[in-house]
Structure formats: structure tokens, C-alpha cells
Amino acid sequence: MKPCAIVRASGYTGRELLSCLQRHPRLRATVVMTARAGAQPEPPVFPGDPTIDALDLARLQAVDGVFLCTPHGAASEIARRALAAGKKVVDLSADFRLRDPALYQRTYGSPHPAPELLARAVYGLTEHARTTVQDAELVANPGCYPTSILLPLLPLLQQGLLDPAAPIVADSKSGVSGAGKAPSDRVHFGAVHENFLAYGVGNHRHTPEIHQQAGTSRIVFTPHLLPAFRGMLSTIYVTPAAGLAASGNAAAALRSCLAEAYAHEPFVRVYAQGQPELRCVQQTNQCHIAVTQSGPLVVLTSAIDNLQKGAAGQALQNMNLMLGLPEGDGLS
């Protein structure tokens, strides 16, 4: 059994990681901490859960891998210490997702806390970075919205199947757990129940991450808050390249491209017919994708569990690879 640490295990993603690791055959969370030194230990929430101890960076010496589930800005110093001790690090915050420290400052409103580490970080969209993740010491785990958008888009962009001048519209909806565990007026039950809204329109923090990884700024991204706890569904409107549009078989061609790209991927399913639903992916590390013609456009629909494939599940995929373990361990 390989030992690992979870920092800030009391949040939604930290708890999701604990759940995955409890069924992992080769990896155990032997160090489970908050993100605050001197904090009072937090007792187990459920029988069989560990006590969550105060942050003690010296305890990272005793593990092989470190999961950072902290807010942005708080992960960098812990990552610096863990890397200096020779540990593998998967950061679930936003600290290492953006390659440009100036872009990070514009996006998050403060200077990057560890710009010297940015060149060492691998963006861990696992299906598109498997080889580099295997050799990485520091992985930036993708955001949940970017995961749901990039998985259906990247193969199509890479194969030149989309009109290079047309905007791409990504209309995404997330369960309320995507906002994190901290209470607020926006995520209070009374504000969410029987309600639905767009937020962060035109300025959401995941937009620069999506643009960076897609290699284009023509993606228009709008997130929405669903009256559900977990799950994420993105509806993406694309214009096929001129030759495909004229053929009348654009949707079939795009579907074929995605089916070929993900034919051997255990966590991505491309539908031959029908549409993904949240209930099909909740509590799983799956991404389900459908492709449908709609007039001159093609509609891509993708569904993930924002706490699994959008966070903890993908982080465990990456850590498995980094530690030389079977990629799907703890995720079946």
C-alpha cells in the first residue's frame, strides 16, 4: 500500500477523495489534514472516516503523494514544500492551471504565489495528457467546467473539423456542490430550491483556463447553477468546417471523430444515439458525450459528476499514473 496525504479533507472534493481512497486497493490516505496550522482536529463525520488533523507539513515526509484540495492561493506553499521533499503533488485548486502569472493575477486578483513552479506543472486532463502526467511531479487538476467542455471539443479542434472563424458557445450547468462547502446566500437551500440562474456571465474564472487549453479565445462560456447537489451538463454549439457543412453529414463526422478518439478510454463514452443525463454519471468518474445536428450547427452535450470527473476522480486518475498504479484503481 502506498501512503498519501489529503490537505483540506473537510471540503466536498476532499471528502470525495476520502471515499475513493477507502475502496482503493493500493493507495491509502494516511495523512488527512485541514489547510490551517493550529486548527482543532475535526472528528469523523461518518463511521470509518479518519479524524482530520491540523496542517502539519512535516507529516508530508511520510507519504508518496499529496492531494491539495485548498482554495486558490493556499496550495502553492504546500506544493513547494512537498516537491522539495520529493513528493508527487496533484493540486485541485487553480494555482497551477494558468501558465502565465500575469494572466493568473488578472483572473484571481493577486500575484501568483509561486511563479517559479509554473513550468513544472502539467495540466492534468488525463485523456489528453497521460504520458506527461506519468512523468510529472506536479499536476494541475483541471476545473470541472473546463473538463466538461474540453473533452468533447479538443479532438474536433485538433482535427480541424470546426469553422475556425465561428464562435463556440458553451452553455454549462452545475450542481450546487461546485460552489464549495462554505455557506453563502447564493447556495442556501432557499435560494437554490426551484430556482435556476446564470452567473459569472462574461467573466467567470474558468474562461481563461478553457481558452488556454483549447488554444482559442472564441469560446463563449456561460455557467449556470442547477437546483441539484452534484452533476454538470454542458451544451456546446459548434459550426462545422465548410466542407463538412456542405456534405450534410457534419454531426456523423464529428461523432465519428470523438468515438475514435475515446474508443479505448474507460471513463469517456460517446453516444451513438440519445442524450446524456446527470443521473447517468452521478457518483462516477465518467464523461458521457452526445453529438446532434441542429440546423446549421452541431450540438455537443457532455455530462460529468463535478465532484468526480470534475475534481476528485480525475485527481485520483492522475495520482494513480504518477505513482505507477493502474489508472482506474479506486474509480470503478
Question: Within 13 Å of residue 285, how many CA atoms lie on the same side as its CB?
Answer: 24
Q: Is 122 exposed, middle or buried (0-12, 13-18, 19+ CB in 10 A)?
A: buried
Contact 174, 196 (CB under 8 A): no
Distance CA 189, CA 96 (A): 32
C-alpha cell at 137: 511531479
Q: Is residue 130 packed enough to be buried (19+ CB in 10 Å), middle (13-18) or exposed (0-12)?
A: middle
Residue type, 106: R
Instruction: Give the residue numbers annotated as catalytic, written as ranges.
Output: 144
> Contacts from 206-211 at CB under 8 Å and sequence distance 24+?
206/143, 206/145, 206/146, 208/98, 208/103, 208/106, 208/107, 209/94, 209/97, 209/98, 209/142, 209/143, 209/146, 210/145, 210/146, 210/149, 210/150, 210/170
